[in-house]
Amino acid sequence: MRFIASALAASLALAALGANAQGVRTERTLSLALASQIATEAVNACAASGYAVAATVVDRAGTVRAVMRADNAGPHTLAASQDKAFTSASAKNNTLAMMEAAQKNPAAANLVHIPGFLLLGGGVPIKVGNDTIGAVGIGGAPGGHLDEQCAIAALDKVKGQLQ
């Protein structure tokens, strides 16, 4: 009888642990102020090199938090920056690295068929430690590697706030 009572108590304790594991989670997220600052810093970094770009910052779910478009940036730069940011946040990776991997791996080339994915350089995840809390995407410099450099420069400017 004592064994049955102990087994029942252990089962209830394990069930309670399982319920807690599936409960409410706490996640870090980007504030509007920080997202706006990253977008502004990205546009400014590219402008310093003479590139008129658009920058989009998304949260971890790929939802747009902030957008900046430089004077004279082409109309295509808005969609490109958003898709790069979405791709980076979704895959938790730089889009330039994803593009290079897709060029070498025929199976990865199918990623282009995912709605909203854009495998061009310029999307960079925003991380706090190992957690991806969003991404920044840049469109409009004369090469994805240059878009990526602007994104990295923007994140370097705010790295003290990403803790």
Q: Which carries the bigger pLDDT value, residue 112 or residue 153?
A: 153
- CATH class for domain 28-161? alpha beta
Question: Can you give the pLDDT at residue 109?
Answer: 83
Q: Quick one: how far is CA 87 from the chain centroid? A: 7
Question: Can you give the pLDDT at residue 8?
Answer: 45
Q: Which carries the bigger pLDDT value, residue 74 or residue 26?
A: 74
* Residue among 98, 101, 62 at smallest CA distance from 82: 62
Residues 127-151: pLDDT tens digits? 999 999 999 999 999 999 999 999 9
Return the percentage of the chain with pLDDT > 90, whole number.
Answer: 78
Residue with tokens 């590219």: 46
Question: Can you give the pLDDT at residue 112?
Answer: 86
Tokens linked to 68 = 């900046």
pTM higher than 0.75: yes
Residue 162 pLDDT greater than 80, yes or no: yes
Residues 59-101: pLDDT tens digits? 999 999 999 999 999 999 999 999 999 999 999 999 999 999 9
Considering the chain, what is the average pLDDT of its residues? 90
Residue 5 pLDDT greater than 80, yes or no: no
Contacts of 19-25 with C-beta under 8 Å, sequence gap 24+, read: none
